[in-house]
């Protein structure tokens, strides 16, 4: 059985029946996988039953990616935060997932500890250590000493590779501008004002994209990147940062970049074209796992393709390396496919 990803180099075993991992050089070798498949999700209350863990296990993902709000704690009391994480770890369905599937991920505001919080949160150092404990990061891992939980791994499948780049949109995120419109929480900052990632993380992201040799590259952000009209947290509150990310993706020449996001308690696909990019840029939002925006009645998103899903779901990406195709699915209870989208790269 696969335990958590560990920062140890292990002997590579090349038989069809085993899975080996070697994350000291940022590679995970998944030799037994019949299908190159990754699952992710966000917005999970530790005190509610999650009906989806058995469905996640049934799709047999190579890795599970937490997209943020992995628990709801909203506290600067580290004892309480630790207890809330432990409650989630004790859930039978999730415990089974941990025993069988490697775990990666980032946090969002409710597990970070401060609703809509960013760089100003005074307890973020302690919160970071508890988050890393939760996803099973070894004490010798670089994330134990760096500021922020950003991280990258490359999964090597039989026929190709996928790099997963997990961003931290909390630790360094600077002040947002309160909205002047009733019913909306934020409005875009003055162009050029503020940072989503901070200087160190931006430099790291640039390096990870430029050095990537993977067939596909997933960028995981806890908040949406493309959808920017709803008035809540989004990269669109700092439009210059969206432009900076697009320019970096083009300049890096990284192949098959796909954005994954959470936060919104709805799931949707957003799509845009970027000058200089040979394929459309997709932001696949998957949220939530235990609760959703049940009263959703519509909101504008100029980039949306398909429909908004406001029932419990998680996201799946199936990679076809031969045809350069990614099949994206929103999956609900009982394995029901609620919506799907296919994109060739």
pLDDT digits (tens, 9 = 90+) for 264-281: 999 999 999 999 999 999
Lowest model confidence (mean pLDDT) among 115-119, 147-151, 179-183, 311-315? 179-183
Confidence of residue 27 (pLDDT cuts 50, 70, 90): low
In the chain, alpha helices (H) = 53-58, 78-89, 92-100, 109-112, 124-134, 198-210, 239-252
Report whether 307 contacts 339 (CB < 8 A).
yes
Packing angle of the helix pair 92-100, 78-89 (nearest 10 deg): 80
Q: In whole angstroms, what is the distance from residue 35 CA to residue 18 CA?
A: 14
Dist CA 115 CA 110 (whole Å): 6
pLDDT of residue 327 exceeding 60: yes
pLDDT category at 23 given cuts 50, 70, 90 is very low
Q: How many CA atoms lie within 13 A of 48 on its CB side?
A: 15
Q: Which residues contact 267 (CB under 8 A, 6 or more apart)?
A: 285, 286, 287, 308, 309, 310, 313, 315, 330, 338, 339
In the chain, the N- to C-terminal Cα span, in Å, equals 33
Domain 37-344, CATH 3.60.21.70 — does that match? yes
Tens digits of residue pLDDT in 58-74: 999 999 999 999 999 99
Instruction: Kindly report the backbone phi and psi dihedral angles of residue 232, in degrees, each rounded to the nearest multiple of 5, phi listed first.
Output: -110, -160
Give per-residue pLDDT as tens, 167-224.
999 999 999 999 999 999 999 999 999 999 999 999 999 999 999 999 999 999 999 9
State the pLDDT at residue 29. Answer: 62
Strand runs labelled E in 125-256 = 151-156, 161-166, 177-178, 186-187, 216-221
Cβ-Cβ contacts under 8 Å for 126 (sequence gap 6 or more): 78, 81
pLDDT at 230 over 60: yes
* 326, two tokens: 């990614």
Other beta carbons within 10 Å of 142: 9
Closest CA to 270 of 297, 292, 237, 300: 300
Distance CA 297, CA 32 (A): 43
Q: How many CB atoms lie within 10 A of CB 19?
A: 15
pTM of the model: 0.92
Whole-number pLDDT of residue 9: 28
- The average confidence (pLDDT) of the chain is 92
Q: pLDDT-based confidence at 139, cuts 50/70/90?
A: very high
CB atoms within 10 A of CB 152: 23
Q: What is the CA radius of gyration of the chain?
A: 19
Buried b (16+ CB within 10 A) or exposed e, 99-133: eebbbbbbbbbbbbbbebbbeebebbeebbebbbe
pLDDT score of 14: 25
Enclosing H/E stretch for 233 = none
What percent of the chain clears pLDDT 70, i.e. is strictly above it? 90
């Amino acid at each position: 059985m696969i335990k958590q990803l560990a920062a140890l180099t292990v002997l590579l075993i090349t038989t069809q029946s085993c899975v080996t991992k070697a994350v000291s050089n940022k590679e995970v070798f998944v030799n037994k996988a019949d299908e190159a498949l990754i699952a992710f999700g966000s917005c999970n209350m530790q005190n509610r039953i999650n009906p989806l863990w058995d469905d996640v296990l049934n799709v047999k993902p190579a890795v599970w990616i937490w997209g943020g709000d992995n628990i709801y704690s909203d506290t600067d009391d580290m004892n309480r935060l630790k207890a809330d994480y432990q409650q989630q770890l004790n859930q039978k369905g999730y415990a089974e997932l941990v025993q069988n599937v490697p775990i990666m991920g980032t946090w969002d505001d409710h597990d970070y500890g401060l609703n809509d919080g960013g760089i100003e949160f005074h307890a973020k150092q302690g919160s970071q250590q508890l988050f890393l404990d939760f996803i099973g990061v070894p004490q010798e891992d670089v994330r134990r000493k760096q500021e922020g939980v950003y991280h990258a791994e490359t999964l090597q499948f039989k026929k190709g590779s996928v790099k997963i780049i997990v961003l931290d949109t909390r630790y360094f995120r600077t002040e947002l501008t309160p909205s002047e419109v009733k019913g909306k929480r934020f409005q875009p900052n003055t162009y050029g004002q503020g940072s989503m990632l901070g200087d160190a993380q931006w430099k790291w992201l640039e390096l990870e994209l430029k050095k990537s040799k993977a067939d596909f590259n997933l960028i995981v952000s806890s908040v949406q990147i493309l959808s920017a009209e709803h008035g809540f947290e989004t990269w669109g509150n700092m439009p210059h940062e969206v432009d900076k990310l697009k320019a970096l993706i083009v300049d890096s020449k990284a192949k098959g970049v796909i954005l994954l996001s959470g936060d919104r308690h709805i799931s949707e696909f957003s799509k845009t074209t970027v000058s200089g990019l040979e394929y459309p840029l997709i932001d696949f939002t998957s949220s939530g796992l235990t609760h959703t925006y049940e009263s959703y009645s519509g909101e504008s998103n100029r980039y949306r393709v398909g429909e908004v899903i406001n029932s419990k779901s998680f996201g799946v990406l199936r990679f076809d390396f031969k045809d350069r195709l990614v099949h994206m699915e929103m999956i609900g209870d009982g394995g029901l496919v609620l919506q799907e989208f296919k994109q060739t790269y």
